[in-house]
Amino acid sequence: MDGRRHAERSLKPLVAALAALGAGAAYPLGFAPFDFWPATVAAMAALCWLLCRPAARPFAYGWLFGVGKYGVGIHWIYVSIHVHGNAAPWLAATLVAVFVAAMALFHGAAAWGFARLCGGGGAWAALGFAAVWTLTEWLLTWFLTGFPWLFAGYAMLDTPLEALAPVGGVLLVSFAAALTGAGLALWRTWQAPALAALPWLGSFALAEVAWTTPGAAASAALVQGAVAQETKWRPASEKPIQARYAALSGPVWDADVVLWPEAAITTPLHRATPFLDAMAERASGALVLGLPIAERSPDGWTWHNGAVAVGDGGGRYVKRRLVPFGEYVPFASALRGLIDFFDLPMSRMEPGHPRQPLLRIGELRLAMSICYEIAFPELVRGAAARADVLATISNDTWFGASIGPLQHLQMARMRALENGRFLLRATNDGVTAIIDAQGQVTATLPRFERDVLRGEFQTMHGTTPFGRWGGVPWVAALMVVVAGLVAARAVRGWRRCRTGR
């Protein structure tokens, strides 16, 4: 009999642990390509409920939730390590598992902090859960260079909550989603669901507000070259790649802007001048393209991932936020040479200056982001308010036919919505798209096809509240909430000490 009771007692934590893991695995179903946002809200509700149970193991449940979330949501990293990094399957899987386990620590720490602050339930617990969740996402935008992937707000695109994005960015949308989940978890007290309903009511009120106004229309041609990654960086491929992009652009040189993807040509800028001059002569408007930029220094050559505008345009941009292990290798002296993944092409890049002039296309100003940079709200916002149109170029070939590039497009949509600007997205093999100022994709190309996307965009005037102030006011407000919860817990502890209860 005692053995049976012991088994029952030990089974409950196991069931709770499996529930946390399962909730985390369901969380990414709200993101592209699944787009089932209730799964994301329900997953957060399940985590909140587990953390508010008596005898909860908050760090373990939070960590297991994170393992499920990242294990399902970013498993596509395996493609770049195994297929393009030539790592053995077991080694690639091990590296992904280590990364997933490390990222899950953020959720473990957040869950532990929430449980310490907001034991039990009620409206304060719901508010505390949403505040801690959102501050964790904010931390992931900068801590250790950041990895701002799978933020809850992205799953809320195409729902009423997206109306909050121009006001406070993706983090405000995440807060609303987390508060909704917590309200569902703590439904036994009417205050929590009522509190969770407030962001939805606010979203309906903001749905018809136009924060920016359209100006002149312009034409764009986005070229998707579909160059195979395994041959792209071979010296013998330089001229064929140039010829491919020149041929694809032939019928669309009349566009106001022709946009080629990240590292469209592999010839560095100092050697590509004759080719670029030839393209500039053909273009009626501006040609904007990505390519390596090398600068000579006393210690040798410094390499950058950059973009330039030629023809009826001008300027250059150097990528500021680099991809760890893709464009630079931390602890390079120890890691280089161990496996091919630590010695990928373009893995010796240096970042550009934090503030750079905008590119010019005709009389318009274009704010550029290269690949990974589009995932950072504040990085894009810094230039967006000064720009007539946004652009991002990428080479998502690194992730093959996985869900990663579709999540990447989802982030680009959020940047357009946050800043009230059209966004042009040119990639090597998808997803190439034109996104309007409401974050809606107006035109796109099929993935893995060599083609050109023609379309129009509008310049936009004015600035959204997020474009003007960013997420700082909301992050500060959430810090005040957490500080208030800390103070309230301290007061409760002091009173218990005084009364002896």
Q: Is 232 considered catalytic here?
A: no
In terms of Cβ atoms closer than 10 Å to its own Cβ (0-12, 13-18, 19+), residue 90 is: exposed
Look up residue 136 and give its two tokens.
Answer: 């964790």
Count CA atoms closer than 13 A to 180's CA, side-chain side: 24
Which residues are within 8 A (CB) of 35 and not within 5 positions of it... i.e. 6 or more apart? 155, 158
Q: How far apart are CA 195 and CA 39, in angstroms?
A: 20
Backbone angles phi, psi at 263, to 5 degrees: 45, 45
Look up residue 65 and give its two tokens.
Answer: 């939730």
Catalytic residue among 118, 371, 373, 418: 371
Catalytic residue among 118, 162, 238, 319: 319
In terms of Cβ atoms closer than 10 Å to its own Cβ (0-12, 13-18, 19+), residue 348 is: middle
| Polymer length of the chain | 501
Buried/exposed 250-274: b ≥16 CB within 10 Å, e otherwise? eebbebbbbbbbbbbbbbbbeebee
- 174-to-171, 187, 473 alpha-carbon distances in Å: 5, 20, 15
Q: Is 8 considered catalytic here?
A: no
In 278-416, the DSSP E strands lie at 286-297, 300-311, 313-314, 316-318, 359-361, 364-370, 389-394
Catalytic residue among 137, 162, 238, 262: 262
Q: Is 48 considered catalytic here?
A: no
Q: Which residues are catalytic?
A: 262, 319, 371
